[in-house]
Each structure stands twice: as structure tokens, then as C-alpha cells.
């Protein structure tokens, strides 16, 4: 089945401060990067009630209400100095969740084996009761919980954003129905993600962090991902795979300090598809802040995932 693309125009309504790297144009670049032959856009309906019920599986229900009220008051900061909000931020965050849920629907009901969810705000730093790191609701954790609730588990979550996905790790820390694998710059924001962090209780051994030094290139990253995927498959057999796809390890990204190229992201797509086999893969946009690098990197990753690499 063809790759499906799940997004919503309301995600562009989250307006940040002038000069802020997490800007609406990122959405356009991430959608443009999905222009692969045969990709099918989904018609995403924003059902706020369903979205908030899904958010409540991951977050304290008070977080959504606090965000709604803060956005009603107009522009400002929410929970941390790096989380500016506008009147459209709440609607954008809800629409991002709705798009992730629509992608999950496509995997469960539509028979698709791949979904790309280019949305903003990103999500993998969002904690249960607090927004941080440009993130408000944890989109990939919401999608994972939806798949698990509908019987498509256990799941694997692969996070290759340059920053550690502390919110996703915290949510699944003590769980054995999800394996969390993260490759990230370390030490770096948000400060978590050492190799010693492996989960606890029933989830001990179900978290694998691969910290990488500044300047890591395609060869280092692909070797690290290959080893991490072997760890996943030794631990469980995922029935679905999710990806926190951050493209800020790109050599041209202004925030990452890494040296990946499009060739590396193509290899990422192929490695993840090879590990997943016939299991579906749902990838959600996280970081990536140089627009042209984001567009070309998304295209490269999805080309590898779908094995349709185009010039």
C-alpha cells in the first residue's frame, strides 16, 4: 500500500516569536519533502473530543486546559522560556494530535504500511504535566498509545532527533509493551539520554539510549542505528513501529551540531523498514530547522522507507 501523508493546515497557526527556529514554514518544507510518487494525502478531520481523550492517555488532563486558557489570553510564553504561544497554538497542537490519530487509523483500518505525519508543534519533549522544548503534546506517544489500545502492540519507537526525547522516554519508562530507542547528541539539551538510562521495573531493558558526540556523521549515525535496531529485535517483536523523525542532525541545521546528510537519512529509512519488515511504520516530524535541509532530508528518509529514492 502507498505511503499516506497525514497533516492539517491548522498546524501552521502556531505562531512563534520573530527569529524563533520553530516557525510555520517548517510545515510547508516537511510536506513538500513527502512529494514521492504514489504518496496519498489523508483527509484529516479534527475531532477535538477524540484528540483530547487521546492526549489524556499521555498527559495530565489539566495540561490541555491550561494551554487552551493561555492561548485565549493571546501571545506569551507557556511553561518554559522556549515555548512561545499565540492564539492559534492550542488549535495547532490539537490538529497535530488529530493528524497522528488519522495516521494510526490508516495503519489499523486502511491497510497502509507507512504513514508520514508532518505536523507542528513537535512533541517528544512534552512531559506528562508540562510543556517544554518547543513541545506541548507528545504526538508520537499519543500515536503509540492509540495503536496499543487497538491491539497493534507491542510497539517500537525510534527517535533520531538531535535532542533526546525525554518526554517519550519518561512516559514508557516502566513499560514492557513499548521499546524506546533514541540516538541523540549528548551531552546536550535537555540533559537526559545517557547510556545508563535503560528503563525501570517491568520496563527495564526496554529503553536504549545511544548518546553521540558532536560532529557525528552518516557513518557513525547509521552504525549506531543498526546496533540499536538489533537491540530492539532481540528484546521484542514489534507489531508496529513509530519514528520521532527529527532532521536537526543535518550538517546544515543551525541547532544540532552534527554532520548528517541526505544519504544518511535515506539509510535510516532503509534500516527502519528492514527491521520492521511487514509491520507498519508511522513517522512523526520533530525537529529540523533549516528549511531546504528539512525538505530534502524528509524526502530522503521517506524514499529510503518506501525504497523509492528519487533524484
Residue in 8, 14, 124, 125 annotated catalytic: 125
Q: Is 14 a catalytic residue?
A: no
- 14 with 50: CB under 8 angstroms? no
CA dihedral (5, 6, 10, 12) positive or negative = negative
Q: What is the DSSP string of 111-161?
A: --SEEEE--SS--TT--SS--BTTBSS-HHHHHHHHHHHTT--SEEEEE-S
- 236 with 199: CB under 8 angstroms? no
Taking CA atoms, 248 is separated from 7, 151, 245, 256, 293, in Å, by 20, 33, 9, 5, 9
Helix, strand, coil in percent for the chain, rounding step 5: 40, 15, 45
What's the rounded Cα separation, in Å, for the pair 222 and 218?
6
Q: 193: which residues sit within 8 A by CB, 6+ positions away? A: 164, 166, 169, 182, 184, 186, 209, 211
- Closest among 146, 135, 182 to 22, alpha carbons compared: 135
Q: What is the DSSP string of 168-181?
A: HHHHHTT-SSEEEE
As annotated, the active-site residues are 125
Amino acid at each position: 500500500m502507498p505511503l499516506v501523508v497525514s497533516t492539517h493546515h491548522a498546524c501552521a497557526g502556531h505562531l512563534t516569536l520573530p527569529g524563533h527556529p520553530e516557525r510555520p514554514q517548517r510545515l510547508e518544507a516537511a510536506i513538500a519533502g513527502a512529494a514521492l510518487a504514489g504518496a496519498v494525502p489523508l483527509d484529516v478531520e479534527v475531532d477535538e473530543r477524540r484528540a483530547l481523550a487521546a492526549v489524556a492517555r499521555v498527559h495530565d488532563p489539566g495540561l490541555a486546559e491550561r494551554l487552551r486558557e493561555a492561548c485565549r489570553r493571546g501571545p506569551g510564553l507557556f511553561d518554559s522560556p522556549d515555548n512561545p504561544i499565540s492564539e492559534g497554538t492550542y488549535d495547532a497542537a490539537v490538529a497535530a494530535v488529530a493528524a497522528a490519530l488519522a495516521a494510526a487509523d490508516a495503519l489499523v483500518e486502511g491497510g497502509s504500511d507507512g504513514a508520514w505525519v508532518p505536523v507542528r508543534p513537535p512533541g517528544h519533549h512534552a512531559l506528562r504535566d508540562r510543556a517544554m522544548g518547543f513541545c506541548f503534546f507528545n504526538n508520537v506517544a499519543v500515536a503509540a498509545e492509540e495503536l496499543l489500545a487497538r491491539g497493534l502492540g507491542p510497539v517500537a519507537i525510534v527517535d533520531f532527533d538531535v535532542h533526546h526525547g525525554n518526554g517519550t522516554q519518561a512516559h514508557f519508562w516502566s513499560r514492557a509493551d513499548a521499546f524506546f530507542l533514541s540516538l541523540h547528541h549528548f551531552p546536550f539539551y535537555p540533559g537526559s539520554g545517557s547510556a545508563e538510562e535503560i528503563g525501570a521495573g517491568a520496563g527495564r531493558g526496554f529503553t536504549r539510549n545511544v548518546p553521540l558526540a558532536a560532529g557525528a556523521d552518516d557513518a557513525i549515525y547509521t552504525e549506531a542505528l543498526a546496533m540499536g535496531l538489533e537491540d530492539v529485535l532481540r528484546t521484542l517483536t514489534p507489531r508496529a513501529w513509530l519514528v520521532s523523525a527529527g532532521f536537526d542532525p543535518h550538517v546544515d541545521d543551525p541547532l544540532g551540531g552534527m554532520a548528517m546528510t541526505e544519504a544518511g537519512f535515506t539509510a535510516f529509512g532503509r534500516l527502519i523498514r528492514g527491521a520492521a519488515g511487514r509491520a507498519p511504520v508511522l513517522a512523526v516530524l520533530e525537529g529540523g530547522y533549516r528549511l531546504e535541509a528539512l525538505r530534502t532530508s524528509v524526502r530522503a528518509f521517506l524514499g529510503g522507507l518506501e525504497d523509492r529514492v528519487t533524484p
